[in-house]
């Protein structure tokens, strides 16, 4: 069985894709069986549990931000549904130019 995801810390609620994962594909992350509800590109994150809007997204055992909207179990976790709590330099720079 090909290893498709890795969990970096036992507290993580996301895993990182080590290869492209097709929608509907089942992957195993530690003791969790996850069916991708959408395509997960290599290097991106897949939710290991349902994460409610405003819920913490945990990677490396630390919060990396809050869910901007509900993220389903097996969903792609990326900038479209994850809000950093650490200031984004690209947004700050755009605001300064405006």
CATH number at residue 81: 2.30.130.110
Of all residues in the chain, what percent carry a pLDDT higher than 70? 86
Q: 31 pLDDT band (50/70/90 cuts)?
A: confident
Rounded to whole angstroms, the Cα distance separating 80 from 98 reads: 23
Q: Does residue 54 surpass a pLDDT of 60? A: yes
The pLDDT, as a whole number, for residue 59 is: 95
Q: Does residue 14 surpass a pLDDT of 90? A: yes
Domain count, the chain: 1
The pLDDT, as a whole number, for residue 84 is: 85
Three-state DSSP string of the chain:
CCCCEECCCCCCCEEEECCCECCCCEEEECCEEEECCCCECCCCEEECCCECCCCEEEECCEEEEEECCCECCCCEECCCCEECCCCCHHHHHHHHHC
> Which residues span the domain enclosing 9?
5-97
């Amino acid at each position: 069985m090909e290893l498709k995801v890795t969990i970096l810390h036992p507290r993580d609620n996301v895993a990182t894709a080590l290869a492209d994962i097709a929608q509907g594909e089942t992957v195993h992350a530690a003791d969790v069986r996850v069916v991708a509800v959408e395509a997960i590109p290599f290097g991106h994150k897949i939710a290991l549990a349902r994460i409610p809007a405003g819920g913490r997204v945990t990677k490396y055992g630390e919060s990396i931000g809050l869910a901007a909207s509900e993220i389903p179990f097996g969903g792609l976790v990326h900038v479209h549904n994850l809000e950093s709590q650490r200031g984004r330099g690209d947004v700050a720079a755009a605001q300064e130019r405006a």
